[in-house]
Chains A and B, each alone.
Chain A
Amino acid sequence: MLGVEQLTITAGSRTLCRELDLAVAPGELWAVLGCNGSGKTTLLHALAGLAPAAAGRVTVADKPLATYSRRELGRTLGILLQREDQEFWGTLADYVLLGRYPHARSLFGWNAPDEEAAVRALGAFDLKPLAAQSYGTLSGGERQRARLAQLWAQNPRLLLLDEPLQHLDLRHQLQTLELVRAAVRGAGKAALVVLHDLTFACRCDRVLMLRGDGRYAAGAAAELLQPERLEDLYGCRVRAFGNGPDAHFIPVI
């Protein structure tokens, strides 16, 4: 689904990530971990073709990223941005419908399938009762769900999620993670998820750790999510409870 070869990403004079090789297969859920400023967002932007990489090759669905048209890419790959502008003129339903942009076939307004996809996406994130409400009146968490719903309406095969759980309450964090897992397991999509919550990272199949100095580690979650590695990554002491997908990590104060 996603192939990365020798990808180097820089920010100013810093090399965030050097010669990254990565292969993400359909049905795989990846957690991307790292400290603040370690290049997680920059990496996602580079994979989505939103920012240029210093070197390397990216293929999406076996096709070089550079050969996609923007609209074609929008049907295959979707990205949840960590930050976006808060202003939007319309209702929540208008906002979610914009996710159908790369699929739109009609020059005037949306087709029935577009509207159905938007309604399904609204339902998935418990947003149906708010559909007619002006986007500007939504709370931070509701907006986060609206962005997720927009991405679900877009329905790409490769999901790049930059901190999808931010602003969400506990129930909606769980619900979002379950929806991501269902999309990956059930619908054969692949997802790269930037997370700071290690409990959720343990529910992913594989982990990519970015050190922020060019070094990285990629591998099975069970292998990489070890207290020593996490202490090394985050620079604080970590204690583990349980193991495997049920593990919990708590910083030692």
Chain B
Amino acid sequence: MSRSPLFPVLLVVAASSLFIALLFGTFPISFVQVFDSIFFPIPGVVQDVIWRLRLPRALAAFACGGLLASAGVLLQVLLRNPLADPYILGVSGGAALGALAALLLGAGLVFTNLAALVGALGAIAIVFALSFRAGDWNLHRLLLTGVVLSAGFSALISLLLVLAPQAQLKGMLFWLMGDLSHAGASDAAWLLLAALLLVFTLWSGSLNALALGALKARALGVAVGGLQAAIYFGAAFATVAAVLLGGSIGFVGLMVPHALRLTGVNDHRRLLPASALAGGSFVTLADTFARTVWAPQQLPVGVFTALLGVPVLLFLLSRKP
């Protein structure tokens, strides 16, 4: 197979997306000022806007996108279903239910995140417990359990939205659509992303074999049970970390891996790191749009991941091979 310059291109795109995120915003900052603040930092407003406001948010967006895209790749291998995305197993539903309940009670950011974490971990535990029976893990049962649980969560979420007073409604809707304006420090998310990429890129030979089906993978010598459990928990925790940063940002986990596959990247040795880079860049750009297009009004980033992603994916799908 010919080596296309995929990674150099993706690295340039990633760096550019972060740079663009630093450049654009309500407060006017020029190209030169961004460079200056990186190489010759002078304390001041510009410095503060770039380093205290824009950079943390850009890093949070990138980590979020990288985690969601990686989780998408992993779950598509695990479930062998092209429609699998990070939210299919009910993780985001559980997190949203927790977060919205907290918002409804008027909780602050910390307590809301805590409630989201409890909800997400609860969903992971329930899905795993219901689909795993002594030594036998049926992936159809896993998929259906996740989908059914998600449906239940979404009913409860609708109920909360209907019951919510007007004052809390907007915050709740932003949370549901995915919004990075309250994203806190993303160190933990970056750490998780790095660990996930390291572990599963080293494991990608097994992922390639597992893509042929569990029985075939075992016949080839893959210890399938442990791998599947690792994929499930790896993807689930990646989703939790992403959801805690930016709410349920949709479409990234589904679209980015497929877009890369459609451009011919299929081997998981390349697909997984490429998805993380592309997903991170994509959410960073979408978030920059979301906070500048209607400035000073900030829009939920989830709207833009879909609005930008849909045409790209439709174009790739309609292209002749």
Contact = CB atoms under 8 A, between A and B. Distances in A.
Interface string B24-46: 00000000000000000000000
Interface residues on B, range: 20 to 34
A11 to B, nearest CB: 16
Contact of A70 (B216, B221, B266, B269): B221
A201 to B, nearest CB: 24
Interface residues of A, number: 29
Given A84-B213, A89-B211, A78 B205 contact: no
Interface in A1-43: none
Contacts of B202: 107
Contacts of B215: 50, 81, 84
B286 interface: no
Contact of A94 (B219, B224, B267): B267
B66 to A, nearest CB: 21
Contacts of B295: none
Interface in B168-224: 202, 205-206, 208-209, 211-213, 215-216, 218-224
A142 to B, nearest CB: 17
A90 B1 CA distance: 10
A98 B223 contact: no
B140 interface: no
A208 B156 CA distance: 59
B219 A48 contact: yes
Contacts of B1: 91, 94
Of the candidates A48, A101, A104, A154, the one having the most CB atoms from chain B within 10 angstroms of its own CB is: A101
Given A89-B261, A104-B205, A98 B220 contact: yes
A102 B261 CA distance: 26
A108 B272 CA distance: 13
Contact of B216 (A85, A94, A109): A85
A39 B57 CA distance: 60
Contacts of A98: 208-209, 212, 220
A84 B212 contact: yes
B212 A101 contact: no
B221 A50 contact: no
B219 A78 contact: yes
Given A81-B215, A81-B216, 6 more contacts: A85-B216, A88-B212, A89-B261, A101-B220, A101-B221, A101-B222
Interface of B: 1, 80, 202, 205-206, 208-209, 211-213, 215-216, 218-224, 261, 266-267, 269
> Which 3 A-B pairs have CB atoms at the shortest separation, nearest pair first?
A74-B221, A102-B221, A89-B266
13 contacts: A50-B218, A70-B218, A70-B224, A72-B221, A84-B212, A85-B212, A94-B267, A98-B209, A99-B220, A101-B222, A102-B221, A104-B205, A154-B220
